[in-house]
Amino acid sequence: MATRQSVENCIQQCEDALRNATDQYREASVQEHDNDLDFIQSQQELQSALNHVETLANSSNTQQREQLLRMKIQLDQMRHNLTVLNHDR
């Protein structure tokens, strides 16, 4: 079973990845954005956070699983937003 601390650490990692991805999304939405490395790294952070959520959800209780599922939805949405954004203008 997942510990409360491991779930909290995972949620913190996810929130950090979301914050970074949101910053990159805003930056990439501006014309002449040219920092592809940071943009790609934020996508990789999101994927890593998603992997962590999915792994942890397999060993969590019902309440933890619901919390992790809500976080997964946010991560998936941000990953989608970054994927469909045309940041190469």
pLDDT (tens digit, 9 = 90+) per residue, 28-53?
888 656 678 888 899 999 999 999 99
Please indicate, yes or no, if residue 56 is contained in any of the structural domains.
yes
Report residue 9 as tokens: 């650490």
The series of mean pLDDT values per 10 residues for the chain, 89 residues long, is 92 97 89 75 95 95 96 96 74
Question: First vs last Cα of the chain: how many Å apart?
Answer: 47
Report residue 46 as tokens: 């999101």
The total number of structural domains that make up the chain: 1
Amino acid letter, 24: Q
Report residue 16 as tokens: 């950090």
Please indicate, yes or no, if residue 89 is contained in any of the structural domains.
no
H or E, element range at 86: none
H or E, element range at 41: helix 36-57
Measured CA to CA, the distance from residue 87 to residue 70 in angstroms comes to 27
pLDDT value at position 80? 94
Domain of 64 in residue numbering reads as 4-84
